[in-house]
Structures are given as C-alpha cells and as structure tokens.
Structure 1
Amino acid sequence: MLPFLIAGPMVRLATPETVCIWLATSNANACDISLVNHQHDTKEDVLQLGEHLFIRLIHLIAKETSFPTDKLLKYQLNTNEDIDIDIFCYDGSNFPEFVIPKKIESVLHGSCRNPHHPSEDSLISADNYQNTQRSQNQIGSQLLLLSGDQIYADDVAGAMLQAIYQLMNKLGIFKETSLNVDLPDDINEQLYNRAQKLPVTAWQDRSKRTLGYWLKRDLAHFTSAKSANHLISFEEFVAMYLLCYSKQVWQCIDMDLLTFTSSEPKIQRCFDDEKLALEKFVAGLHHSQRLYANMSCLMMFDDHDVTDDWNLTANWEQNVYQDPVSRRIVANGLISYWVFQGWGNDAGKKSGFFKDLMLDSKTDEQWHFENLDKEIFNFSYWHFEVPCEPKLVVLDTRTHRWRNEHNFDEPSGLLDWEQLTLLEQNLIGEEGVILMSPAPVFGVKSIEAVQSAFNFFGQPLLVDVENWMAHEGAARKLMNMFRRADTPVETLILSGDVHYSFCFSVQARFSQRDNRIWQLTASGIKNEFPTKLLSILDKLDSWFYGSKSPLNFFTKRWQMKVSRHPVAHDNKKHLMSLSGISLIKLENGKLESYQILHANGEITDFVL
C-alpha cells in the first residue's frame, strides 16, 4: 500500500502576507495545512502527475494582520490519512516550525547534491545544526538557499535509473508522447548505454571550418562526460526529484531488484560503487526532509538540473534547440524544475499560469507538451527577490545569456545587458544586498586562467568555462557596476557550482568609499573537487595572484582588489574541497562569520 504523503512538506516562499508549503501525495484526499494560533485563509493548487501522484502547493494567506516575522511559527497537517508528523519535528516540539525572515541574521547556503557521489550528504549536518538550535529555544538559520544542481539529470547512477522506473510504475506517473530515441524496452539494457542514443549532429552536417568535419566525427548535443544514464523523458525527471527529496517514496522501491551484471569489470564496479553510495544517501534522507519542513527553502537552477553545460555557448544552443528530441529533453528539465522548485519560489505569482498549461497538456493520461514548450522557453522570470533585510536577489544565469556574436563557440556571458542593467538597478541605493549567483562572480584566478587556456584552443566545453569573466562585455559591465559609489555598503554573493568552498572579499581600487563585496562560495552539498589537484591550484593561486602580484593587473577585474581569506586552522589554505554547506551569520546586515558545516561533522571557519 502506498503511503499517503509521498514527499514534503517543504516550506517554500514565506512572507508576512503569504506562506507556501509544497507536498506530494498518493491520492487526492483532503489535506489541509494550518498555522497554530494564527488566523489565515487557505488556497490549494493541485497538479496530478500520475495515477497516484498529486503535487500540491498550499498557500496560507494572512487574513487580517500580517504573519509575524523572525519568530517560530508552528503548523500542522490536517487530514484523515495516516501521517507520522513526529518525523518532521525537531526535539522538544510537537509541530514542524519555520520562520518568516525579515531581518536576516543567519542563512544556510549550498549547492551540488549528487546522490551517488561517495561523499556524505551535508544536509544531514545542516539538519543536525538546526535541531541543536531549536532544542535550545533558538531559531537557528532563517533561510535555506540552494543555488543549483539540486538534481543531476545528466549524471545518474545505474541503480537510481532502475529505481526511477520502479517508481514510475508504482505511482503510475503519466508519460509523455514517445520521443524518437531508440532505447531498448528493458531498463537493464539501457544502463550505461544511453549516451550513444542521445541526438547528434552528423559529421556531414557540421561546418567545414570545424576539425570534426574533416575527422568525420559526429557532434554530440549533450556534452556531459557522464551522460551514460542521462534522464530523457518528463516522467523520469519527476521520479528523480521525488527520489532525491523524500525518504517515504523509497518505501515504493524494492532495493533487492536494484541489481545489474555487466561483462565489463569497469562498468560492474561503477554500478556497485554507485549503489553503495546511493544506499547511504537514502539512509539519511529523513534528515533533509525534516530540514525542508522546518525552514523556508528557496532554490535556483544551474546546469545539472537540466543537463551539463546548459546554454554554455551559442553553438551549444543552436545544436540543441534545432533538434526536436534535444529540445524536448531540455524542456522536460525546465518543466520539472518548475514543478519541484520554481513554483514555490514565487508562490506562482509569475509562473502560476504553467499549472493551467500543464492541465491542458494532458489527454488520456498522456502529456502533449507542444504548447507548454513554447511558453517554458519564452518565460523570462525565473529570477526573483525576497523583501528582507538585507534584500535577497536571486539570479537566473542560465536563460538570459549574453551570446558571443562573433564566435558561437566562445562562452556566453552569464547575464545579458538587459539583465545586468536590471541587477544594477536592484543594487543602487541599497545599504546591503544578498546576491545569489549559481557561479562565483569572483572566482579563483588560477583556475580561470586554466579555463581561458582551454577556451583559447577552442575547447570551452571540456573544462566548463562558465565564469563571469569569460565574456568581455559581461565582465566589463559587471565590474563597472560594482565600482559605482552608490552600490551597497556590503554585498554578500552566495555561489556554488565549483565543488569547493572559499571566502574572498573585494573592494574597488582607488575608491574613497568603503563598500565591500563578499564572495562566499559553498559547494558541494554532496560533491567534491579532487583534493590533491585543488591543493595544487590553491598554491598556484597564491604564487601567481597574491595580493601584491602584478599579474592581477592583467585580469578583467584589475580595478577590484580581491583578498583571499584563509581557513582558521591553516592560514595557507584558502580552498576547501570537503563536501559541506555554508552557515552565514550577519550582525546588523554585515557579515559576522562564515563557516562550512561538513558532512563528516567537522566545521571549517574562514578568517574574516
């Protein structure tokens, strides 16, 4: 028998006027949510994605007076169904609780959560931290901010793909019209073979100016190096999200059936190692579920939520969007992102019309997304703001790219001129701003130099050249913006993406105004950069781009002085690869401390 509550509750956007709570249930039976000791109206949006899958976004709307801010608010689930609410409660509380943030004093931020990576899940550490704080009658952190790669659509474990198909069948997830991809009917025959089935541009159709034409090499549209089990259909994306969000949904999975035998020892070892890591991930999922239920959680996509290198170059876009199958796969990633992430970011104020489009897209329990695809690709409001103090501004650096018009193989700017101008307007006149950018604005110069070298030789996709300085126009506009005298006194830039963590502070050279930018990068929640390689790059960065190095004046941000802050236990170490999630504390809108809560229980303090 299926559990009633499949995923959630997950507290999403929480403002003094409206609180949104997201959950998934196995039937359409009534399930109401109410705040304890507070009057409010309730509105529910329901989207049926399968015979036994109902996505619900419940809006709690303040009735006469606004909801209180910076104070713990209890809520309860009201239903006749059997739900064990205790698993969502922190020690000493009979209800899950959350805070509507007004004056920000503490946030948790992270990115890059790969279920089968061998590192531990740092959301467990975040949950344990919150539990300790709440048991001591403290609020703890007010917001959980996730800046990308909440799922890995391109890098999927073999056992996870098997679990996805089990779940699709158990929940009767509605399928889309068949894509023109020649996949075997047996899922075990698909394992580690999907990359060869994904769309390509035949070498005959490639430009004669490319080496690939003369070497007679087809051009793969999806450029991930780990696309052997890439998600393809909408129903696969749906199941993937549920399996990453929820412990209950794994009750539907027969773990004994997650087996695979390969004649190739390398593939067999890969499957076995991935399954072992996945089992550990599943064992800790109740922690992340409890965390989601007790904090307002806001999210933004990065590339892996859809596919690796998503929109990295204009040529990538041209190849993918001109092919109907490739375009459909990307659309599946975007639609599922809206259902499981984007919908709760804005309480449906700008994106809510997608619900009606989805309802219109289903005929006889099958999806027909032609009309929805047009709207999802034209939608330009994935970015959002939260009116707290400091103001939170969340950037969409994927769908507003500044394309290189002279060379389509060059990396695109992460934001185009229009969006950079809008960002500038958001910064002007503010005392302080928290800016969430999936990729670091001020990255590690030695690593960016390596990326520039690969880009010079025409291989930007090989090393993921997605830094803000890679595009001349975007870099110049961005630096001019931060050098303005009327930008915030203190700007905190929260970033992820790179699979290592660091803390830089930035000030404009030759400026009489003491405004400061903090680049606080935390990555990954469950992912890591190779430790030895990162140590070498850290040393190279110290040697070649130290504070007194003349090489700094040959970079695009030479007018900005970047100071690298070491970790407390080793003043020569600035980059940390151990998986973790950041704990950021503010006092009167200014950065007070920056820590990384590691999955193994260790804590790294950066010296400010």
Structure 2
Amino acid sequence: MTSASASGADVDLVIGPLLRYVSADEATIWVETNGPCTVKVTLDDGPESSADTWSVHGHHFAIVMIEGLEGGKIYPYRVELDGTECWPVDDGFPHSVIRPPSRDDRLRVTFGSCRRTAPFDEANLKELGADALAALGERMKITDATTWPDLLLFVGDQVYADNPSAEMIDKLRQLHPEDDPIGEEVHDFEEYTWLYAESWSTPEIRWVLSTLPSCMILDDHDLRDDWNSSWDWRNEIVHEPWWRDRVLGAFGSYWIYQHLGNLSAEELAADEKYLEVIAAPDEETRNRLVDDFAWRADDDPSSSRWSYYRDFGRNRLIVIDSRCSRDLDPDRRKMVDEVEWAWLVDKATQDVDHLLVGTTLPYLLLPGIHDLEGWNEATSEGAWGKLYAKLGERLRLALDLEHWAAFRNSFDDLTGLIADRAASDSPPSSVLVLSGDIHCSYTAEATLPAVEDSVTRVHQLVMSPIRNTLQRSVQLANRFFRTRGAHAVLGFLARRSGVEDPAITWGVNQGLWFTNGLMTVEIDGRSSRVVVETACVEDGLQRLVEVGTYVLADGSAPSEAGNDAGRTELAS
C-alpha cells in the first residue's frame, strides 16, 4: 500500500473514512475534513461517487453514497478531497475495501460495548488492558477477508464524555476555569468532536472502521453517566448551569458522528432533518438547525428516533434506543415510550430466520441483580412506604439499577413480544439479544414456559467491555448475584414488594468473563452460534484469544436438555 497523504493540499481528513452502511448493492462512507471540499470515493473495478461537505460549528462532514455494487466482490477504494488523494495512507495496514454480501443466509456480526480511549503504551495497557477492537484489526491485517466480520455493532459507550482520557483531561483543564461546575467532563459540541477524533484516529482503529461496516447506538457515557436513570435524576440535573450546552453537544454530535451512518442511502434521502441541514444556505443556519434538533430530541423523545433496523437476507437486526426514549413518569415508567414501542413491535413481527435485538442494557441480567432491580423499582414507587421510596431512589443511582428489570412494564412487554414471535406460525430459529454496559460478559439461555414446544431458541449475549477497567469488588459482587443464595434472598424481597415472577426463566450458561473482548454471532441458514474472544497483549501486540464457540440454535427444535440448562444454571 503506497503513501497517498494530502500533504501540501488545502484540505485533509480529520476523521475517517468510516465505512458505515453496506448492502448487496450500495454503501455509505462518512468523513470529517478540515475544510470545505468535494469528497470523491473511487472503487477499483467499480463505481465512483462524490459528495460536497457541509459544516456545523466549524467542522466539515460528508456522507458519500455509493450505488451499483455487485454482491460477493471485494472493492478496494480510494478517497479524494478536491481531486487530491488522501486515502489510503502508508500506515502498515492493507488497502481499505468494501465487501457487499454475496449470500443472504450467512451473517457474521461482531459486537461489544464500553470502549475507553488511551494510548497503547505500557502504563495504559496495564490499567485498561488490551483494546479488543485494535486486536481485531491486528488479526484482520494478516487474515483473508472471507474470515472477517460482516458487521461491527457497537452497543453503547463509544465515547466517555464524563470520564475522558488523561490526555483529554489535560486539554480540558487548560480550557475550563478551575471553578467551572462541569469540571473535567466534556462541555459542548466542540469538545465532543475531540472525543471522536481521539477515539477513531489511531491507525488500528481507523483502518478497521474504514473496512468493516458499523452500526452504533448510544448509552449513558456517550452523553453522561446515569442519563435518564429516573424522574428525580432528571428533575435535578436540568437545573445545572452547564446542562443546555451539554445536551446540544451530546445529541448534535451523536446525530452527526454516529447515527447518520446507521441509515441506508434510501433512509437518508427520506430523512427530513438531514436533508434540511445539508441544504441550508450557510453554517449559521445549520448550527441553529442542529442545536434546535438536539435540544428537542432530549426534551421531547418522540421528536426523534435513534432506534433502527437492518435486514441481512432472512435475518433482521433491530437496535433499540433504551436510553433516550424512556418514559420516566413514576406512574408509567417505561424503558421505551409508547411511540418507540409501537415501532419496535412493527419491526419485530416480520418473518425471519433469526431476530437479533441490540439493546445497550441487558434484558436478562444475572438472577440476583434482576431481583434487586425489581425490588428497588417497587420500593422506589412506595411499596414499603415513603422512607424506603427515598432510600430506593438513592440506591438506584448509587448502584446503577436502571436495566430492563428496573422498568418492569417494559421487561414484561419485551418478554411478551418474544413469546408471541416464538408462538407464531413462522417462528424464528433464534431470538438473540445483544447487549453490553455492565463490564461483565456472559451468555444466558432462556425458556418461555408458555411456549415450551416452540423451535425458537432465546439467548441473552452480553459483551462488555471492549476496553475498560473493572474493580475487583464489582467482580465479586457479580459472582455473588449469580448464586442461588442471592437469587433466593433477593427474589423473596422482590415478591414481598409485590413484584411478580417473570414469564420467562433463564440462567447463565457460559461466563462470567471479566476482561476486554468481543463476541461474534455467526449465522448459517437457521443455525447460529457465538464465538467469544478476549483481548490480551502477546509479544508486544494486542491479540484476540478464543474462549469458546457455543451453539445457539441448530435449526431444529430445542432439546429438553437445552431447556433445562437454560432454566437452572445458577452457581451454588
């Protein structure tokens, strides 16, 4: 691969290229540049396409839509800015390529969450461990493209606005006054752009994101820790003096850097806000449009949708916004509001072989934590009186009790939706829930007692973190919450608070793992399996090591042994 930097040119890449959406015949490539220009993408032995940049708050972006691809071909591509080639660069990695799928019955999705950014020096590798995404890039560099994932799915915390790197903190300290209430956190749109540049610009990460299609969904750290955890949290934080700038920066940058790339060319062409922004006559107008959109997205969740779906032949991936579309009213608490839920039901009831559901927060937690969150929600709503209600709210924030189990109405709704699909005339072979967030990884198999004769296998897959730390005390707590004793005691407390047993049973059958890593779901026809890999440093290189490969669905009816394993697997 030869050097093709744009040294001496007026414009250059700031971030990217990021290969985002890829189907059998089209693709989108996202870039940020350091000035206005025309971005041209040329495919070897394929089409070319171009787009003009548009600017927001002094930053310049473009999404290039490429059509006319042929499934099964591998297209090396190049990027030009105003006629000067700026990609590929001579960084030791192969040529970036686009790989439209050739078959609709096979799919390989690699996913994970919670990736903190820090240099790959000895001190940071010791503190945060190996970066599983960088390790994936190192392996891809020396393996055939046919072995690579078809899609990367990032299920939350792609950046840490409230816990930035040491290098970023030094930069923020120089900018923020000592008495600034925002402290060492990111404040506004400009500072969010620094986070994305830091996170996506190391050579390993840059090449992976230029070569593998990616889907993303936000969680709290993309915005701020505990975002929308409860009604009380929100009523308190909206009065902070820095709140408005944080909201504008968080949602405006998320929309541009992450969300737009989740959409197909057809969806972008129908997105009124996107069309309005790129057609605006000047940057001042675009700034106002994006800021107004960002503020309304937080103030009125029904005004925007971050959830999306992707079809891969007879397989569907639905990615749920389980952070911003919440209804926090104590009288009707919901993980997703009624508008979002109606959309989810519509998208989940199609005839598919495998239904993959991405949600940043695990649906099926460790049994003890599930019981604890149910008890906490009930007591916070007054099941044990006003004193326990106040204590319950404090406990919710202190222990991050905000997963699906803490929104029992939504947990039951999702359980009912999965049961309906399993009991339908054309049930999927598997329903796989892909999650992150909790800095602990595992697989859990579930049984729906009301539809035990269904061919549908239900699994919760949790992979977290891609790169982060986990305190020893938290590891011990998670191991405790998996035990029969924790389930018995906390289940008793939950029932004493009026919490009914769920209409689904489950247990952890693989894990727990407390290390950086990735999971890959592999689908072949109506069969599916998951490959679990952890990251480490060997001979100075970041590598992925396979922990195991586990069958999720074999394309036939689940055995009684499989049901029993999913129902009873608890530690002593």
Class of the TM-score when normalised by the shorter of the 2 chains: 0.7 to 0.9
* Larger proportion of strand: 2
Q: Report the CA distance between 1:508 and its aligned residue.
A: 0.6
Of 507, 513, 534 in structure 2, the residue corresponding to residue 597 of structure 1 is: 534
Aligned to 1:48: 55
Match of 1:500 in 2: 440
Indicate whether 1:381 and 2:382 are aligned.
Answer: no
Q: Is the 8 A contact 2:438 2:464 kept in 1?
A: yes
Alignment partner of 2:413: what SS?
helix
Which of 450, 471, 485 is matched with 2:407 structurally? 471
With over 3 angstroms needed to count, the CA separation of the structure-2 counterparts of 1:84 and 1:540, relative to structure 1, is closer
1:415 aligns with 2:302: no
TM-score normalized with structure 2 length:
0.77
Q: Distance in 1 between matches of 2:343 and 2:288?
A: 36
Of 443, 451, 454, 1:513 maps to 454
Aligned position for 2:556: none
Q: String of CA shifts for 1:255-285, please: whole Å, max 9, x gaps.
A: xxxxxxxxxxxxxxxxxxxxxxxxxxxxxx2
Residue 462 of structure 1: SS of its match in structure 2? helix
Preserved CA contact (<8 Å) 1:127 1:287? yes
Q: Distance in 1 between matches of 2:221 and 2:133?
A: 19
Distance 1:338 1:350, change over 3 A: farther
Give, in angstroms, the shift of residue 18 of structure 1: 3.0
- Residue 560 of structure 1 corresponds to 504
Q: CA deviation at 1:490?
A: 0.7
Q: How does 1:146-545 map to 2 (within 5 A)?
A: 146-163=154-171, 186-187=174-175, 189-190=177-178, 194=180, 197-198=181-182, 228-246=183-201, 285-321=202-238, 325-347=242-264, 348-349=268-269, 351=271, 353-354=273-274, 356-357=276-277, 359=280, 362-363=283-284, 371-377=292-298, 378=300, 379-388=303-312, 389-406=314-331, 412-428=333-349, 429-451=351-373, 456=379, 457=391, 458-459=393-394, 460-484=396-420, 485-486=423-424, 488-511=428-451, 512-531=453-472, 533-544=474-485
- Relative to structure 1, the CA distance from residue 313 to residue 550 in structure 2 (aligned partners, 3 Å threshold; closer, same or farther) is closer
1:405-446 Cα deviation digits (max 9, x unpaired)? 339xxxx43212443343233222433211111111111122
Superposition RMSD in Å = 3.3
Counterpart residue type for residue 420 of structure 1: W
Look up the match of 1:126: 136
Task: Indicate conservation of the 8 Å contact 1:469/1:556, yes or no.
Answer: no
Corresponding residue of 2:19: 11
1:93-132 paired onto structure 2 within 5 Å: 94-100=95-101, 102-116=104-118, 118-132=128-142
Q: What amino acid is the match of 2:324?
A: T
Retained in 2: the 8 A contact 1:434–1:492? yes
Distance (whole Å) between structure 2 residues aligned to residue 400 and residue 357 of structure 1 = 23
Given that 2:105 and 2:523 are in contact with CA atoms closer than 8 Å, whether structure 1 keeps it comes out as: no
Deviates further, 97-106 or 125-134: 97-106
Which deviations, in whole Å up to 9, do the C-alpha atoms of 1:152-178 show, x marking residues without a partner?
Answer: 111123421344x6xxxxxxxxxxxxx
Give SS of 1:132's match. coil
* Distance in 2 (alpha carbons) for counterparts of 1:396 and 1:238: 22
Deviations 1:569-602 (A, max 9, x none): xxxxx21110112222222243223312324433
Contact 2:71–2:100 (Cα < 8 Å) also in 1 = yes
Q: Does 1:28 align with 2:30?
A: no
**Percent of aligned positions that are identical:** 17
Amino acid aligned to 2:309: E
Q: Which range is displaced more, 533-542 or 472-481?
A: 533-542
More displaced stretch, 81-90 vs 588-597 = 81-90
Deviation at 1:150, TM superposition (A): 0.6
Greater mean alpha carbon deviation, residues 416-425 or residues 509-518: 416-425
The C-alpha deviation readout for 1:542-576, integer Å capped at 9, x for no partner, is: 333789x997996756332213223xxxxxxx211
Which residue of 1 is the match for residue 63 of structure 2?
Answer: 57
Describe the shift of the 1:241–1:367 C-alpha distance in structure 2 as closer, same or farther (beyond 3 A): farther
Q: Does 1:39 align with 2:74?
A: no
Q: Under a length normalisation based on structure 1, what TM-score does the superposition of the two structures give?
A: 0.73
Q: CA deviation at 1:451?
A: 4.4
Other structure's SS at 1:334 match: helix
Q: Tell me the amino acid that sits aligned with residue 504 of structure 1.
A: A
Looking at structure 1, the residues matched to 474 and 288 of structure 2 have their Cα atoms a distance apart, in angstroms, of: 46
- Give the Cα separation in 2 of the matches to 1:550 and 1:230: 38
* Residue type of the alignment partner of 1:382: W
1:83 corresponds in structure 2 to: 86
One-letter amino acid of the counterpart of residue 344, structure 2? L
Cα distance between partner residues in 2 of 1:306 and 1:599: 29
Instruction: Tell me the SS of whatever aligns to 1:105.
Output: strand
Q: 1:73 aligns with which of 48, 72, 75?
A: 75
Further displaced range: 421-430 or 8-17: 421-430
Deviation at 1:462? 1.2
Do the aligned partners of 2:111 and 2:154 also contact (CA within 8 Å) in 1? Answer: yes
Q: Per-residue deviation at 1:361? A: 7.9
Structure 2 Cα separation of the partners of residues 468 and 364 of structure 1? 39
